[in-house]
Structure 1
Amino acid sequence: MRSPGARHTRGSSMLGVVGLAALVALAGCSDDDGEESATSSAPPPTAQDRLEQAHGVLTDAGSVHLTMAGADLPEEESSYIISADGSGTMDPPAFDGTITAVVAGVQADIPTVALDGQLFVKLPYVPAHVNTDPEELGVPDPATLFDRESGLVSLLTQTDDPQFGERSRAGAEVVQQVVGTLPGEIVTALLYAGDAESSFDVTYGLVEESWQVRSVEITGPFYPPTTSTYTVTLDQYGEPVTVTEP
């Protein structure tokens, strides 16, 4: 006959085995759940996702300040834009600022207002703005840059084969580059220059967290056979802008 102590020891051993088995089972379930959770988690955003996100941010802003600068521009051209600085609205598309351009072979800083399909410029030695046709000057209507359907913002969703580029810090901002190409006909329609049959390289600088488009750099045959670059910088998202006819 076994003593009560022996029965107690055997019972404790059995309870220990059962408890150990339960812990192993729970551990197995936990590992399975972790693997399943990791497998089912959403993939990281692609470059295309970030461009679409930036498109929404810029569209929702409604207004923005813009600077544009050209590089490697052909001096033999008689009419082309060198740079621009101004603010614009998207509803309706409008611009108020200064465009530095070569017009009929003469370089000038031209105060410019564009709205409602009209372009008003203050040419050198002219005391007031005059209403003129962009095609006559050989320059684009700057208001179109702010158009939600066909302006700068539209390039984001028409970029071919977007890929992540470099990631860097610019002051307090962390900027993620997205690189790709743009069809020539889109670029020429927007900037009124370029070979519509060629493709253009584009690099976007997107500010992480806010996903504002801080810069758009477009390189290609704006004035064939020369390869030129226009860099647009955008800031002051959503700040009040009023554009009125001069």
Structure 2
Amino acid sequence: MSPSRRSLAALVVTGAALLLSACDGGGEDAAPTTAEPTAADRLEQARGVLVDAGSVHLALTGTDLPEDESSYIISAVGEGTMEPPAFTGTITARLAGIQADVPTVALDGELWVKLPFAPAHVRTDPADLGVPDPATLFDPEAGLVGLLPQTQDPQFGQRARAGAETVQEVTGTLPGETVTDLLLAGDASSPFDVTYALVEESWQVRTVEITGPFYPPATSTYTVTLDSYGAPVTVTRP
């Protein structure tokens, strides 16, 4: 056989071998792999869902709150928007030792409350009441949304039914300073435990449960429930 024919035969054999290898799946390393989402991935996904919603209904409840504190939030219910951060609803708080339901509007860094026996809302400073500005809870960077990416060592917890929904828990810890900056309560030097309940498939944050030294030395818990994602919300000055 001439050199040119031997070269042509070698090319044919080599091409056939490559074709057979491709047909029988010989390249195992080339097979695509799909990694399962981590707990951190799910928190990031949930963060995006919450930011994209733009508005949400909120219910907050506190448990194991110390009776000897003179001013703190017991519960709150209302709705808010993220652009701009705003809230309208009712806050149940202990103010100077007296428990009261306080209709509240927060918008553009201003706070209006209707105190017991007052005929109308009055503008006030949150610091004067010893409570955080509730509008900050809806800030797309520094509010509740901002807690998710700051969660340390997130791990998957239980899967459970919550009414008609299936939720996946994600547990972790939050730096004390992150919590105290948001809620204006707590020991900034101590970490707080946090548990998120994320609705499977939609990955909405349904609840955020934060436990730690809000009023040291006691250990207290605040639970925030979020729903009605994207529902129309209008917040106006009283």
- TM-score of the two chains, using structure 1 as the length reference: 0.86
RMSD value over aligned CA atoms?
1.7
In 2, Cα distance between equivalents of 1:214 and 1:118? 28
Residue pairs, 1:39-50, within 5 angstroms? 40-50=32-42
Are residue 230 (structure 1) and residue 217 (structure 2) matched? no
1:208 is aligned with what amino acid?
E
Q: Flag the structure with larger Rg.
A: 1
In 2, Cα distance between equivalents of 1:27 and 1:171? 53
Instruction: Give me the identity figure in percent.
Output: 73
Match of 1:134 in 2: 126
Higher deviation after alignment, 169-178 or 71-80: 169-178
Match of 2:55 in 1: 63
1:149 is aligned with what amino acid?
E
2:192·2:212 contact (CA, 8 Å) conserved in 1? Answer: yes
Residue pairs, 1:141-180, within 5 angstroms? 141-180=133-172
Structure 2: gaps spanning 5 or more residues? 1-18
Are residue 188 (structure 1) and residue 195 (structure 2) matched? no
Could you list the structure 1 runs, at least 4 aligned residues long, displaced by more than 3 angstroms after superposition: 25-36
1:225 is aligned with what amino acid?
P
2:136·2:182 contact (CA, 8 Å) conserved in 1? Answer: yes
In 1, Cα distance between equivalents of 2:91 and 2:166? 30
2:21·2:27 contact (CA, 8 Å) conserved in 1? Answer: no
- Describe the superposition over 1:128-183 as per-residue Cα deviations: whole angstroms up to 9, x where unpaired: 00000100000000000000110000000000000000001112211000000000
In 1, Cα distance between equivalents of 2:236 and 2:179? 28
In 2, Cα distance between equivalents of 1:66 and 1:96? 10
Are residue 201 (structure 1) and residue 193 (structure 2) matched? yes
Structure 1: gaps spanning 5 or more residues? 1-24
Are residue 220 (structure 1) and residue 212 (structure 2) matched? yes
Residue pairs, 1:46-125, within 5 angstroms? 46-125=38-117
| 1:30 Cα deviation from its structure 2 partner | 3.7
| 1:42 Cα deviation from its structure 2 partner | 2.1
2:176·2:190 contact (CA, 8 Å) conserved in 1? Answer: yes
In 2, Cα distance between equivalents of 1:67 and 1:104? 23
- TM-score of the two chains, using structure 2 as the length reference: 0.89
Match of 1:22 in 2: none
